[in-house]
Chains A and B, each alone.
Chain A
Amino acid sequence: MAWPIFRTEGVTKVYDTGEVQVHALAGVDLTLFAGELAVLLGPSGSGKSTLLNILGGLDRASSGHVWFRDTDLTALRERGLTRFRRDHVGFVFQFYNLVPSLSARENVQLVTDVAREPMPPEEALGLVGLSHRMDHFPAEMSGGEQQRVAIARAIAKRPEVLLCDEPTGALDSKTGIQVLEALKDINDRFGTTTVVITHNAAIRKMAHRVVRFQDGRITEVEVNETRLAPHEIVW
């Protein structure tokens, strides 16, 4: 396997809600390698989304360090984090988060407008098999199609990492598989480091590595000797 792209060291996250302090992350040490597809598994509330947000520069760790290559993300200010997100990271969310007033093409364009070396929105939509729906608005598309637009949006900037928080959470198995196919295809083709959070343990079979979470800690990291293609996964 290749060189590390993300490395965390003793990352903690404490939410102070006034009455109680929630320790969402209680010391996470993890290394992610370039080109790998990792799946994060764990019970609800175990801190998966929190870690993903910190990796993607959406949120800050309470203590510890996060390195992206040689950059210590925890040392970056607001402006640096924005640059980092803009230049290096693609996000896919559970609820797609498309802008309803923009068509599919324009939703992708929203990202290519600010990225450094993006691919044309049409090409990105082609990669997820939506060339024929480019001018449709989110309200005119199914959940799976919307999620694939979200993936096109995430990959259009040619990010080094793709962070996906329950990308199939709102989808049925058939559309879920389509979405996972798209993710795997990107990972294979461009070597984009991909992290997928899921509640569906079956999905772990498509990963290079599976990271298990429990109570804000990593309990186990497992390497898949043989990977399955998404369509081979039994849901």
Chain B
Amino acid sequence: MEAIDIKLLRDFRRLWAQALAIALVLGCGVAIFLTSFGMFRALEDTRAAYYERNRFADVFVTARRVPGHMVEAIAAIPGVSTVETRVTGSVVLDIPGREETAVGLVISLPNGGLSQLNRPVIRSGRLPDPDAADRVMVNAPFALAHGFGAGDVFSANLNGRKRPLTITGTVLSPEYIYTLGPGALMPDNEGFGIIWMPERAAAAAFDMTGAFNSVSMSLTRGADEAEVIDRLDDLLEPYGGMGAYGREQQVSNSFIDAEIASLRSTALILPPVFFGITAFLVNMVLGRIIALERSQIGLLKAVGYSNWEVCLHYLLLAGLVAVAGIVLGWAVGGWLAHALAELYADFFDFPFLIYRVSYDVYAISAAIALASAGLGAARAALSAARLSPAVAMAPPAPPRYSRNLFDRMLAALRLSQPAMMILRAILRWPVRSGLTVLGLALAVAVMVAATFTEDSLDKIVDAAFFQSNRQDAILYFTEDKPISVLEEIRRLPGVMAVEGQYYLSAELRHGHREKQIALEARPEGSDLARVVDERGHVVVVPENALVLTRRLATHLDARPGDVIEVEFQGDKRQTNELPVAALVTQYFGLGAFIDYDTANRLFRQAPQITMANILIDPRHEADLHARLKDMPGLAGTVMLTDTRRSFQETIAENVLIMNTIYVTIAVLITVGVAYNGARVQLSERARELASLRILGFTRGEVSAILMGETVVLALAAQPVGWLLGWGISWAMTEGFTSDLYAVPLVLRPATFAQASIVVLVACLGAVLLVRRRLDRMDLVAVMKTRE
């Protein structure tokens, strides 16, 4: 090995602690980049391939009942490539060994076998005989959750009669990668299953012989989706069309979109922070090394090493740090990606896995890591290259001290000598001090942003499940029922209270803006499910008016007082104009609210309900479920008690993981910045500090000066960090907000305090490590060395 490389390796070994502190920060950036960017790409590629292979449809619509011959008119819409019609319906399931009801979504299988669009992938077994009435295939996760295989039997309440259905096989479908049951917040494969049933049997079960109630279609390249949707809606209006929508509103697809977006924003926001801090640390440390090795640089040049070789020598030192960071980052990132992939496997149902970070992502992460270390090293390495050998060999001229404005200000403050030394050092290197403050502030901000997520989720859960929706279960019907049905439900065993709720699907229009939503109405005095605003007040919807959720209002560009055109869909075909009475903040969905009596009056009908909210006496829960499984006209149930529990469990688990990760990140950043900062100071001021010791200052007093600088900078970083944390949290609420949900900005003083404590403690720890070096410093040796 060449001597200059031996020097490189020895220098690297000597600097191991500082190199490690930087490598950890860099490794963190690499790991997060690898995980988020790798997973983002894996998810996007997997989904794209799946959609392509299995012809995921472009436009979807459901309707009340469309005669079979309409399919030709639909296919004739310009831009439509393939049309597929089917019969779908929600049914209550009775699963052997399960006390609670489950819900199934029946989808008809065309007579030829599998559908052309949204083509299911057979995972096991085979297709049912097209003529069989009681043979079905189910989605694989549902089968797995219940241990079902071909030949197993469960019951479904079809057309008011409980019928046994035999499973012939299991499938996965591109329509149900994220399988969310009605009213659910998270997939529940035990409680919700997709059932593929031969067309004839499905049509008979839902009274759809010679008709269909669901359409999917693919479009030709370059077709205008909005135009097709408009035409389709016009065609289906007489048949109770519920409003067509494209992929971005398809539930499964939109959840994957949200996940991909959040991975992408993580990949774009977080890693640059680490790469930036790495560049700063490399710059600071290498700058100091080159100042110390001035005469060695001169010597290398004197004996014939070129400027480029000298420059490269120092770039390689930074390169070694980067390599250490990359190796760490790859190891941790590979492990994290694996953990995340397992998490995804729980939530997303793909038939094939590309949950593997591809090699080029590893390569990109390494390239970025090298580039950031290189960028940090560039200034110092170039100054080494430019250093003239004659100058480098001469002892450096003593630094020119002049009294500037700062000095005069400091003098005016009449501070003690150590305080003067601390402040002067900070002001002597304003850029470095500023970047140190910024680095520590970022650590604080990361902590704030992490804790904020937890608090805002708590707030959402509280608002959704303890303020607004306090019922134990929701029962929803196959079609709207007169409100008198509540009497029947009240008589069921275990039902302690019951209230009705009415949903109307409608398209709201204001100016050019339009949005398809579900309008909610509840009889006056409803107490189980209520509309509650962000301050916890119950919102009463006035007569003949609408209350809009704030995000919907933004969507429609509507303010209180504006008049909205409401086009009702499904059975109720009419258009009304209603003024906006008020706006209310809601975290889930893009809802709108209307007074119950007003809704019924609009249609000149006796009061109707879509679903019933109930409170259950736990002692009679089993009896209740047994009855629900046989109840005619019931399309499904949502067990809110379960939803609440699983949501909170998932959040608690995620919060624990996230907190661990973010505290680690904050500590790594803090230690990286504080430790290197203190080491560089120690190196620069070793003589000064040693002379103080020789003059009789105690160890404590001398290290107070060294630690003082870092502590002053760390304290200055706190308010900056709080502000940055607030900004990041705000950006995150904006980034997370979608049609599916909104995230409130909840920041408690405790959040800031916790962030500051973690960072200050980590900072102190880092400085104490350096203090140990100072304590062991050989005074004589320090005074003897020539700088």
Chain A interface (Cβ < 8 Å from any Cβ of B): 53, 56, 58-59, 78-79, 82-83, 85-87, 91, 93, 95, 97, 99, 101-102, 106-107, 109-111, 113-115, 153, 157
What residue in chain B is nearest A113 (Cβ atoms)? Answer: B2
Question: What would 8 more interface pairs be, CB under 8 Å, given A101-B7, A106-B3, A114-B304?
Answer: A53-B390, A58-B388, A82-B304, A82-B307, A102-B3, A106-B6, A110-B300, A111-B303
Do B4 and A113 touch across chains, with their CB atoms under 8 A apart?
yes
Task: Tell me, in angstroms, the Cα distance from A109 to B2 when the chains sit together.
Answer: 7
Do B6 and A87 touch across chains, with their CB atoms under 8 A apart?
no
What residue in chain A is nearest B391 (Cβ atoms)? Answer: A59
**Contact indicator per residue, chain B 1-38, by CB within 8 Å of chain A (1) or not (0):** 01110110011001000000000000000000000000
Do B304 and A97 touch across chains, with their CB atoms under 8 A apart?
no
State how many angstroms separate the Cβ of B786 from the closest Cβ of chain A. 7
Task: Tell me, in angstroms, the Cα distance from A115 to B10 when the chains sit together.
Answer: 23
The answer, among B7, B11, B302, for a CB contact under 8 Å with A91, is B302
The answer, among A59, A79, A97, A109, for a CB contact under 8 Å with B3, is A109
Task: Tell me, in angstroms, the Cα distance from A157 to B300 when the chains sit together.
Answer: 14
Task: Tell me, in angstroms, the Cα distance from A107 to B306 when the chains sit together.
Answer: 17
Give every chain B residue within 8 A of A106 (Cβ-Cβ): 3, 6-7
What residue in chain B is nearest A86 (Cβ atoms)? Answer: B304
- Which of B6, B296, B307, B390 has the most chain A CB atoms closer than 10 A to its own CB? B390
Give every chain B residue within 8 A of A107 (Cβ-Cβ): 3
Do B302 and A102 touch across chains, with their CB atoms under 8 A apart?
no
Does B298 make an interface contact (CB < 8 A)?
Answer: yes
Do B307 and A58 touch across chains, with their CB atoms under 8 A apart?
no
The answer, among A59, A109, A115, A153, for a CB contact under 8 Å with B388, is A59
What residue in chain B is nearest A56 (Cβ atoms)? Answer: B302
Do B299 and A97 touch across chains, with their CB atoms under 8 A apart?
yes
Give every chain B residue within 8 A of A157 (Cβ-Cβ): 303-304
User: Which residues of chain B (375-404) have a CB below 8 Å from chain A?
Assistant: 388-390, 393
A95-B295, A101-B7 as given contacts; A115 in contact with B302, CB under 8 Å:
no
What residue in chain B is nearest A150 (Cβ atoms)? Answer: B299
Do A102 and B304 touch across chains, with their CB atoms under 8 A apart?
no
Chain B interface (Cβ < 8 Å from any Cβ of A): 2-4, 6-7, 10-11, 14, 295-296, 298-307, 388-390, 393, 786
Give every chain B residue within 8 A of A82 (Cβ-Cβ): 301, 304-307
Give every chain A residue within 8 A of B298 (Cβ-Cβ): 97
A53-B390, A95-B295, A97-B296 as given contacts; A86 in contact with B303, CB under 8 Å:
yes
Task: Tell me, in angstroms, the Cα distance from A59 to B387 when the chains sit together.
Answer: 11
Task: Tell me, in angstroms, the Cα distance from A191 to B733 when the chains sit together.
Answer: 80
Task: Tell me, in angstroms, the Cα distance from A41 to B207 when the chains sit together.
Answer: 117
- Which of A106, A107, A110, A115 has the most chain B CB atoms closer than 10 A to its own CB? A110
A58-B389, A110-B4 as given contacts; A115 in contact with B11, CB under 8 Å:
no
Question: Can you identify 26 A-B contacts, CB atoms within 8 angstroms?
Answer: A53-B390, A56-B302, A58-B301, A58-B390, A58-B393, A59-B389, A82-B306, A83-B304, A85-B304, A86-B303, A86-B305, A87-B304, A91-B303, A93-B299, A93-B393, A95-B295, A97-B296, A97-B298, A97-B393, A99-B296, A106-B3, A107-B3, A110-B300, A113-B2, A113-B3, A114-B304
State how many angstroms separate the Cβ of B161 from the closest Cβ of chain A. 87
Task: Tell me, in angstroms, the Cα distance from A109 to B296 when the chains sit together.
Answer: 15
Do A111 and B7 touch across chains, with their CB atoms under 8 A apart?
no
State how many angstroms separate the Cβ of A80 from the closest Cβ of chain B. 11
Do B303 and A153 touch across chains, with their CB atoms under 8 A apart?
yes
State how many angstroms separate the Cβ of A54 from the closest Cβ of chain B. 9
Give every chain A residue within 8 A of B14 (Cβ-Cβ): 101
Task: Tell me, in angstroms, the Cα distance from A226 to B370 when the chains sit together.
Answer: 63
State how many angstroms separate the Cβ of B606 from the closest Cβ of chain A. 93
Give every chain A residue within 8 A of B7 (Cβ-Cβ): 99, 101-102, 106, 110
Give every chain B residue within 8 A of A59 (Cβ-Cβ): 388-390
Give every chain A residue within 8 A of B303 (Cβ-Cβ): 85-86, 91, 110-111, 114, 153, 157
Give every chain B residue within 8 A of A109 (Cβ-Cβ): 2-3
What residue in chain B is nearest A114 (Cβ atoms)? Answer: B304
Task: Tell me, in angstroms, the Cα distance from A160 to B298 when the chains sit together.
Answer: 21
Do B388 and A97 touch across chains, with their CB atoms under 8 A apart?
no
Do A78 and B307 touch across chains, with their CB atoms under 8 A apart?
yes
Do B3 and A85 touch across chains, with their CB atoms under 8 A apart?
no
Give every chain B residue within 8 A of A53 (Cβ-Cβ): 390
Q: Lowest 10 A-B CB distances belong to which pairs?
A: A86-B304, A59-B390, A109-B3, A110-B3, A101-B10, A58-B390, A97-B299, A53-B390, A58-B389, A106-B3
Task: Tell me, in angstroms, the Cα distance from A107 to B300 when the chains sit together.
Answer: 10
Give every chain A residue within 8 A of B4 (Cβ-Cβ): 110, 113
Give every chain B residue within 8 A of A93 (Cβ-Cβ): 299, 393
What residue in chain B is nearest A100 (Cβ atoms)? Answer: B296
What residue in chain A is nearest B786 (Cβ atoms)? Answer: A95
Give every chain A residue within 8 A of B2 (Cβ-Cβ): 109, 113
What residue in chain A is nearest B307 (Cβ atoms)? Answer: A78
Task: Tell me, in angstroms, the Cα distance from A93 to B786 when the chains sit together.
Answer: 15
What residue in chain A is nearest B392 (Cβ atoms)? Answer: A58
Give every chain B residue within 8 A of A97 (Cβ-Cβ): 295-296, 298-299, 393
Give every chain A residue within 8 A of B307 (Cβ-Cβ): 78, 82
What residue in chain A is nearest B306 (Cβ atoms)? Answer: A82
The answer, among B10, B295, B302, for a CB contact under 8 Å with A85, is B302
Task: Tell me, in angstroms, the Cα distance from A105 to B302 when the chains sit together.
Answer: 18
Give every chain B residue within 8 A of A111 (Cβ-Cβ): 303-304
Do B3 and A101 touch across chains, with their CB atoms under 8 A apart?
no
State how many angstroms separate the Cβ of A50 from the closest Cβ of chain B. 8
State how many angstroms separate the Cβ of A61 from the closest Cβ of chain B. 12
Give every chain B residue within 8 A of A85 (Cβ-Cβ): 301-304
Give every chain B residue within 8 A of A114 (Cβ-Cβ): 303-305
Do B306 and A79 touch across chains, with their CB atoms under 8 A apart?
yes
- Which of B4, B11, B302, B304 has the most chain A CB atoms closer than 10 A to its own CB? B304
Give every chain B residue within 8 A of A58 (Cβ-Cβ): 301-302, 388-390, 393
Task: Tell me, in angstroms, the Cα distance from A87 to B304 when the chains sit together.
Answer: 8
Task: Tell me, in angstroms, the Cα distance from A59 to B302 when the chains sit together.
Answer: 10
Task: Tell me, in angstroms, the Cα distance from A110 to B388 when the chains sit together.
Answer: 19
Task: Tell me, in angstroms, the Cα distance from A41 to B454 when the chains sit together.
Answer: 78
Task: Tell me, in angstroms, the Cα distance from A79 to B304 when the chains sit together.
Answer: 10
